[in-house]
Structure formats: C-alpha cells, structure tokens
Structure 1
Amino acid sequence: MRNLILSALFATVSLFGVTAHAEDFEAGKQYVELKSPVPVSKPGQIEVVELFWYGCPHCYQFESTINPWIKQLPEDVNFLRIPALFGGAWNVHGQLFITLQSMQVEQKVHEAVFDAIHKQGKKLATAEEMADFLAAEGVDRGEFLKTFNSFGVKSQMEKAKKLAMAYQISGVPVMIVNGKYRFDIGSAGGPEKALQVADYLIAKERAAQ
C-alpha cells in the first residue's frame, strides 16, 4: 500500500513538474532529443546515465553536486555511470571503473579513485599502479588484476563504446535520460541546472507512462 501511495504521489508531482518547467527547458536548448532512442537496461524504470572520465576535472567537480542527488532518486529511477572510452587514458580509466563494478567495490572506492587522480596527482595509468593503490583501499590486489584483464570486463568495454556512439557524445560529463534525451553542464547552464533538467525529463517520462 505504501508503495502504491508513493507511486501515485510521484505521478502527481511529475505532472505538476512537467507543467511548471515546460517554459524553462526546451529541446534544442537545454537538452537534445536523440533521433534514435537507445534501449534502456531495465525496462519499466526511468534510466538516467552519466558518462564520465576519471581524468576529467569537470566530472570530478560534478561529483559533489550529483552524488547527493543520486541518493534521493525515487525507486522508479535507475541511475548508471558509464565510462567514456575515447582511447588512451580514457580507455585505461574506463577499464578500471568497469573492473571495480565487476568486483562490486565501485561504490566503496569511486571517490578515492577520483581523489587519487585530482588531489594526489596519481596517474593510475597501468594495472599494476591501480592494483597497488586499490590494495591500500582494501581491494584484493590479485583479484583486481585478474578481473582487469578478464573477458567480461573487455566485453563491457565494447558495450560502453557502442552506447557512447549511440548517444552521440563528444565530451563529458554528459547525461542521458531514458535513452532519449542528452544534455551536459554547459547546455543546461551549470551543475545544479543540469540536475534540474534531469528532474524535468524524469518527470516528463514518468507522466508519459
């Protein structure tokens, strides 16, 4: 019963949200509507994707804004992070992120990895360097190296590359809502505005269901 009441409440808020923000956010201005929608990973939920790179200073700065927002997302929203793989260090760090996800330790050390690169000046450019750093954070060194070079991780990297192409991204951080809408901090008007755009598009998708 509680879930039904919450669902009804979210739906009501969504309808008012779309009306209230309709004049503020427009396709072609704050966000782009993709010509070919990309299938979501969990049908039935509203998907929000952030594409990022550990080496990106803007992504690092966005963390303090987006993380509290992620924690308060309702149950019908599925949030995903996907590494952007544009070659070189992007791919190496993307492989790091996917490895941490595969080991189910990404949430535990995600912030520490960002801090290591942007506060401590670590490159984390090789698997060995990553393994040494992560061992100090409580991640099994041998298991990390084994997983880093696994077929499963490489398969996920190929999937991430295909998704980035389908989303037609050219930089990070960028967000995608429900495989239909793309926007970034610049187009939205700043980090806080980007999350307002995300809220608006989530409400728009919820109201359309």
Structure 2
Amino acid sequence: MRNLILSAALVTASLFGLPAQAAEPIEAGKQYVELSSPVPVSKPGQIEVVELFWYGCPHCYQFEPTLNPWVEKLPADVNFVRIPALFGGVWNVHGQLFITLEAMKVEQRVHAAIFEAIHKDGKKLATPEEMAEFLAAQGIDKDAFLKAYNSFGVKSQMEKAKKLAMAYQITGVPVLVVNGKYRFDIGSAGGPEQALDVADQLIAKERAAQ
C-alpha cells in the first residue's frame, strides 16, 4: 500500500509538472551553456539577467505569468533586462516597437497589453501605423510614438540588440542569459519554473564569485 501511495504521488507530480524531489544542482552542458566569450553587462556591479524574446512568440507569451512575479521579487543586486530577438521580418518590426516604447519610458505600461493583443485578440501590429492606433487606445500619443519609432536613437538600439543576440549565440526564444556568461532556455532547463531555478542558482554562483 505504501508503494502504491508513493507511486500515485510521483505520477501526480509528473502530471502537474511538479518536481518529485528537490531540484538537483545544475551543470554546464546540461541545463545551461557557458559562453566561450562573456558578454559585458549593461550595469557593471550588478548581476544581469537578460530575457531575449519576441512579442509574436507563443512560448514567450506563456512564460510571462511565471517570469513576471519572479522578476518583481529579484533582489537589488540583480538587474533584469529584456532584449527583443531580431531575426528579420516581423521580428524586427516588433523589436522596434519594444525599443521605441523603452525609449519613451512607457514599455512597462503596455508590455502585457501588446502580448494580449497579438495572442488573444489576433492583432498583427505589423506596421507603425497599426501600432500607433493600438497604443493610442492605451493612452500613448500617436505622433510621439511614430516620431520615436523612426528616430536615430531607436535605430541605434536596434543595431545594439542585433549584436547582443549574435554574441549570446541564440537561435530561438525565449532565452535567458545570466551575467553575460550563461545561456539557457525553457527546454534545456526542463520547464518554465525550472528555468527560473537555473537562473537563481546561476545568480547565486555569480554572487559568490564577487
């Protein structure tokens, strides 16, 4: 009977994606890859966690409810950064949208609404004009958005994002990079919650090395 109860508990854990035991220590080459050439972080002195994403990516959208509460609880010595992956076409269009909103300092206000518009409401947001119309309903000035969208500063940040994605050697999204050294994704980590456990362990590793 004891064995039957234990087996049932393990099956229940696997069905609901719950770990049957405590998380094991992570290893390079298994849950994450150590980059051969570390990438400089944006704020020296802080441990950086980068998420590379695309607004049109369903996996990125599904990761949001797990990722956001974790980000909100990060300690003061950890800097979380989102970077759009720019693989051409609509990826670049959406990436330019994100970078424009960051430049306008309104991205956090509308980040969730953009994901919802694309994945629940079926909006494409594939042109600056369509974006401007949508953002106007979110309280963002259309003309100010279009001016920023085509600005030199935004285009410069686009080039920077492309170079970072190349330096991180990414081939898909969502991907997390800790302190410019360690790259992993939901698949390699074993799931969304496990990916954040990998991030936590790598943050602790970097903190201990400082």
Cα deviations across residues 83-118 of structure 1 (Å, max 9, x unaligned)?
A: 000000000000000000000000000000000000
Q: 2: distance between equivalents of 1:84 and 1:208?
A: 29
Alpha-carbon distance in 1 for matches of 2:25, 2:206: 17
Taking CA–CA contacts closer than 8 Å with sequence separation of 6 or more, which of the two structures ends up with the larger relative contact order? 1
How far apart are 1:189 and its partner, in Å? 0.1
Letter of the aligned partner of 1:91 in structure 2?
Answer: N
In structure 1, C-alpha distance between the alignment counterparts of 2:78 and 2:140, rounded to whole Å: 29
Residue equivalent to 1:75: 76
State the alpha-carbon separation in 1 of the partners of residues 25 and 59 from structure 2. 24
- Matched with 1:201 is 202
Displacement of 1:139 after TM fit? 0.5
* Structure 2 residue 63 is the aligned partner of structure 1 residue 62: yes
**After superposition, where does 1:36-115 map in structure 2 within 5 Å?**
36-115=37-116
Partner of 2:7: none
Q: CA RMSD in A?
A: 0.9
The one-letter amino acid paired with 2:162 is K
Q: How many angstroms apart in 2 are the aligned matches of 1:124 and 1:145?
A: 13
C-alpha distance in 2 between matches for 1:122 and 1:179: 34
Deviation at 1:48, TM superposition (A): 0.2
Counterparts of 1:142 and 1:107, CA distance in 2: 20
Q: Please name the residue that 1:8 is paired with.
A: none
Structure 1 position 46, deviation (Å): 0.1
- Structure 1 counterpart of 2:12: none
Q: Which amino acid aligns with 1:205?
A: E
Question: Where in structure 1 do 4 or more consecutive aligned residues deviate above 6 Å?
Answer: none
* Runs of 5+ unmatched residues, structure 2: 1-21
Structure 1: state its 5+ residue gaps. 1-19
What is the count of residue pairs matched by the alignment? 189
- For 2:17, the equivalent position in structure 1 comes to none
**How does 1:85-164 map onto structure 2 within 5 Å?**
85-164=86-165
Q: Distance in 1 between matches of 2:105 and 2:141?
A: 12
Q: Which residue of 1 aligns with 2:16?
A: none
Deviation of residue 73 (structure 1)? 0.1
Aligned partner of residue 171 in structure 1, secondary structure: coil
Q: Within 2, Cα distance between the matches of 1:137 and 1:119?
A: 16
Deviation of 1:56 (Å): 0.1
Please give the alpha-carbon distance, in whole angstroms, between the structure 2 residues aligned to 1:79 and 1:120: 28
Question: Residue 19 of structure 2 aligns with which residue?
Answer: none
Distance 1:32 1:102 in 2: 31
**Aligned residue type for 1:110:** H
Q: Quote the offset at 1:24 in angstroms.
A: 2.5
For 2:157, the aligned partner's letter is Q
Partners of 2:209 and 2:25 lie apart in 1 by 19
Aligned to 1:172: 173
Partners of 1:59 and 1:139 lie apart in 2 by: 24
